[in-house]
Amino acid sequence: MPAGSYIVESQTTGEVDPRERTDFWSEHIKSLQTQMDFRYATPDPQTFHGRSTRQRTDTYQLVNWQCDQIEYNRTPRSVRHEPDPDYRFLLPLSGELVLRQDDQEARLTPGTGSLMTLGAPFQLLHDASLQGIIFSIPAREIDGPLNRKSPLATGLDLTTGLGRVVHTMLRSLSDERDHLTASEFNAVSDRVVELLLMLAAGDDRPDTTGQLTEVEAMVRLHVREHAADPDLTGTSMARALGWSLRQIQLALQRVGTTPRELIREERLRLVRDRLQCRECDHLTITDLAYSSGFSSASTLSTAFRRRFGVSPRELRNGGR
């Protein structure tokens, strides 16, 4: 898939031979997600119905799907033969999902969601009234910030507060699929992942002061607004926000990052968005480096390749 591409595509069992519907759906879901086994509730493939709409870029994927009752199993053998370290966030819109992974069970209904890994076996069941969203997240976006490798099958409340914001953003990404660009889809997805990390960290890490979450949120906002400032540092943030540098370090350490790493991450995302923006075509890579807070084009290129797997020039030449 060319760097910078954004694709929207839909599939339905109504477009295939009724006798091949379950076979078609199994292969289709494997192509969207990963290797797994399927157990269909209906013995007759002609009575099975399913549909999906996929949005994807080179970084993220969001699938809105609806189908009849199925049990999905990713066995230890599948994990060994086809390793996949990436994560999925499950969000039912109607019906019920049951996720079993890492000796945990999450029963998901509308208003709840779970973050899970494809790097460990799982069992996923849903009833015939299921409609849901499954959001694909690269492993590097989760493992580093959460400072863990273990599977997550955590039920998260999406009815209030931060959870409700995540729910609304994912629904909006799906609803507006035909009106988004690659950079817009990635930018919103980046923010969704940030919020999911905050939810996941808050779910299993006690916040003893209650203030650290507030500090983290304000620091992230400040970095996003001032990422292009070459003088932005942890110390300058502390001075501008009225907190001590130690408070900021503790708040970010809690979610597995540092002021320096957060600033670099936001600057890299700023460059990526500008590379995919036609209004910035006149800017050279050196121009982008200096205008995004980097000290040189070579510093930018090294960090960009390490983060996204391609150089800034390759991303620009790869198309939008």
Share of the chain above pLDDT 70, in %: 91
Segment 273-285, tens digit of pLDDT:
888 888 888 899 9
Q: How confident is residue 209, by pLDDT bands cut at 50, 70 and 90? A: very low
**According to the model, what pLDDT value does residue 202 have?**
61
User: How open is the CA angle 9-10-16, to the nearest 5 degrees?
Assistant: 130
**According to the model, what pLDDT value does residue 87 have?**
93
Token digits of residue 277: 């923006």
**According to the model, what pLDDT value does residue 207 have?**
42
Q: How confident is residue 318, by pLDDT bands cut at 50, 70 and 90? A: confident
**According to the model, what pLDDT value does residue 211 have?**
64
Q: How confident is residue 151, by pLDDT bands cut at 50, 70 and 90? A: very low
Average pLDDT over residues 194-209: 61
**According to the model, what pLDDT value does residue 154 have?**
66
| pLDDT exceeds 60 at position 203 | no
**According to the model, what pLDDT value does residue 148 have?**
52
CATH topology identical between 7-201 and 209-319? no
What backbone phi and psi angles, to 5 degrees, belong to 200? -65, -40
Residue that the structure tokens 């700023």 belong to: 270
Say which CATH architecture domain 7-201 belongs to. Answer: Sandwich (2.60)
Sheet holding 154-157, edge to edge: 7-12, 50-56, 61-67, 131-137, 87-94, 112-117, 154-157
Segment 13-40, tens digit of pLDDT:
999 999 999 999 999 999 999 999 999 9
Indicate the fold that domain 209-319 takes in CATH.
Answer: Arc Repressor Mutant, subunit A (1.10.10)
Average pLDDT score over the chain: 87
More confident residue, 154 or 168: 168
**According to the model, what pLDDT value does residue 206 have?**
39
Residue that the structure tokens 């000290």 belong to: 295
**According to the model, what pLDDT value does residue 136 have?**
96
**According to the model, what pLDDT value does residue 93 have?**
95
Structural domain boundaries in the chain: 7-201, 209-319
| pLDDT exceeds 80 at position 208 | no
| pLDDT exceeds 90 at position 109 | yes
**According to the model, what pLDDT value does residue 145 have?**
55
More confident residue, 194 or 227: 227
Torsion, Cα of 44, 45, 47, 49 (10° steps): 150
Average pLDDT over residues 233-253: 86
Segment 33-82, tens digit of pLDDT:
999 999 999 889 999 999 999 999 989 999 999 999 999 999 999 999 99
More confident residue, 117 or 146: 117
Q: What's the CA gap between 174 and 55, in Å, rounded? A: 8
Sign of CA dihedral 128, 131, 135, 136: positive
What is the pTM assigned to this prediction?
A: 0.68
